[in-house]
Amino acid sequence: MTAASLISDKPIPPQERLIVALDVADSAAARALVERLGDAAHFYKIGLELFMAGGYFELLDWLIAQKKKVFVDLKFFDVPETVRSAVRALAGRGATFATVHGNQAVMEAAGKEKGDLKILAVTVLTSLDRGDLDDLGFRCDVDKLVLSRARRALEAGCDGIVSSGLEAPMIRRELGSRLMVVIPGIRPVENKPADDQKRTVDVAQAFRNGADYIVVGRPIRQAPDPRAAARAVQATIREVFGG
């Protein structure tokens, strides 16, 4: 594959390729950010921090009522029957994506109950590097582990994967467009030392490496003008896709 052929050809509206991570303290802060961003963002990720703060499903329902798409990022990882039941309960709530972070049986269980929900398998968290994998007992390179998990996700019936932008080209070359690729850890500039994301790319590089969607949190949320920051990301996406 050439670099140009790595760019996603899936029929996704360009404005929906940006997923804004609502990694904030509570649902009131999440709603305030959504209202501030307005039409600059159409797709939102809600994760563990909000889940523990309370009002999670009320927020999900509110986002759906606002005509927004929702990515439920709870990384389901438990015995397969528990994951199957959790996905079954979520499937009818209107979310677009949900994550699983488990072995083959867990991914297969999620796939069996997904309905219209798209299941994304987490490969290797973007906060981990080679040293972290050594600590966890993985004696292989990051890219080999990511590719192995991507192949297993495809076999298990998952719709896509979450990986860093560094491994996306390899996934596209090996698996083509059979899996959606969602890339978090987007950083418009070089990481600050205190940043917990280690394997990062910028917006344009993520899509040139094969992303279907990107997840952006702090660069938008912590910007002096979050709406302007989101609009800048959207402008870059339009440039990449010729819009």
Residues carrying an active site annotation = 75
Residue whose token pair is 């719709």: 159
Is residue 44 helix, strand or coil?
strand
Residues 6 or more apart from 160 whose CB is under 8 A from it?
Answer: 97, 118, 119, 120, 121, 153, 179, 180, 181, 182, 212
Amino acid of residue 165: G
Q: Measure the CA–CA gap between 219 and 227, rounded to whole angstroms.
A: 11
Beta bridge partners of 20: 44, 216
If you write DSSP's letter for every residue of 113-133 in order, what string do you get?
T-TTPEEEEE-S-TT--HHHH
Q: Measure the CA–CA gap between 212 and 192, rounded to whole angstroms.
A: 26
